[in-house]
């Protein structure tokens, strides 16, 4: 089965005193494996809310969020907190705006720790070796093989973001959710990170949601969507918008 994310008639509101603010207003979106859907729009328009709902971090008021994985299709909007955490760990990779790396861990250890999240049993030496090999392969894929044993303070901003991306791919996710990956980078490093995301999304065939304010990269995306006041515009092919 191919992977895909389908958002259907999604609504999310937040309390605001006696009233409620609508963050997502009947949003519809489909992203298939290997595709990157770019989400643009002004601050406060609902972009981060869409990412949070799509990655099970927030439960919507109504609507469906269906993730198709090799294990089958699941409506993320109906999961319990425990089931959502398990699915997020196994099938969703999240790249936050800030890398949020653990200061005491090396780049290699950041990835290894991700692989062992939620495990309550003793990991065998064979499994540990396989995990380390996979982590090393991912670091090599993002150009950091020579920096595997460096801690975050020894890496540049672009290198830390590359570790962040590799970490999100550690469990071979069906869905990648990426929030402003170039906001803290200069133009050159930002272009490198976008090129890496394009390559990784295609290689791993993950359905990818990418929030960005940087319009210079939009022509590389599969589709472009604009969020304004909780409304998402119809899909626009990136090539037509370039």
Domain borders along the chain are 4-99+168-241
List the end-to-end C-alpha distance of the chain, in Å, as a whole number: 32
Span 23-77, pLDDT tens digits: 999 999 999 999 999 999 999 999 999 999 999 999 999 999 999 998 899 999 9
Rounded CA gap, 103 and 112, in Å?
A: 15
User: Residue 221: which of 208, 203, 206 has the closest Cα?
Assistant: 208
pLDDT for the residue 120:
53
pLDDT digits (tens, 9 = 90+) for 103-137: 999 999 999 998 877 555 667 888 889 999 999 99
The domain made up of 4-99+168-241 is a member of CATH 3.40.50.300: yes
Percent pLDDT > 70 in the chain is 94
Q: pTM, whole model, 2 decimals?
A: 0.87
Q: What is the pLDDT confidence band of residue 196, given thresholds at 50, 70 and 90?
A: confident
| Alpha-carbon span 213 to 91, nearest angstrom | 26
* Alpha helix segments (H runs only) across the chain: 47-54, 81-91, 107-115, 125-141, 157-168, 187-204, 238-241
Task: Please report the pLDDT score of residue 40 as a whole number.
Answer: 94
For range 152-166, the mean pLDDT: 93
């Amino acid at each position: 089965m191919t992977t895909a994310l389908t958002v259907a008639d999604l609504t999310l509101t937040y309390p605001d005193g006696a009233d409620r603010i609508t963050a997502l207003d009947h949003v519809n979106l489909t992203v298939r494996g290997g595709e990157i859907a770019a989400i643009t729009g002004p601050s406060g328009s609902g972009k981060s809310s869409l990412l949070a709902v799509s990655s099970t971090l927030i439960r919507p008021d109504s609507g469906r969020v269906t993730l198709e994985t090799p294990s089958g299709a699941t409506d993320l909007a109906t999961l319990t907190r425990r089931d959502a955490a398990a699915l997020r760990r196994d099938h969703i990779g999240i790249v936050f705006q800030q890398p949020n790396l653990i200061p005491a861990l090396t780049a290699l250890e950041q990835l290894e720790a991700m692989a062992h999240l939620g495990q309550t049993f003793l990991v065998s030496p064979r499994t540990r070796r396989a995990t380390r090999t996979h982590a090393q392969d991912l670091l090599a894929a993002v150009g950091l093989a020579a920096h595997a044993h460096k801690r975050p303070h020894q890496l540049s901003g672009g290198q830390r973001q590359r570790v962040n991306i590799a970490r999100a791919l550690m469990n071979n996710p069906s869905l990648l959710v990426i929030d402003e990956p170039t906001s803290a980078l200069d133009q050159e490093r930002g272009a490198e990170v976008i090129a890496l995301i394009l390559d990784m999304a295609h290689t791993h065939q993950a359905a990818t949601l990418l929030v960005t304010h940087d319009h210079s990269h939009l022509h590389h995306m599969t589709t472009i969507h604009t969020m304004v006041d909780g409304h998402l515009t119809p899909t626009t092919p990136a090539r037509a918008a370039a």
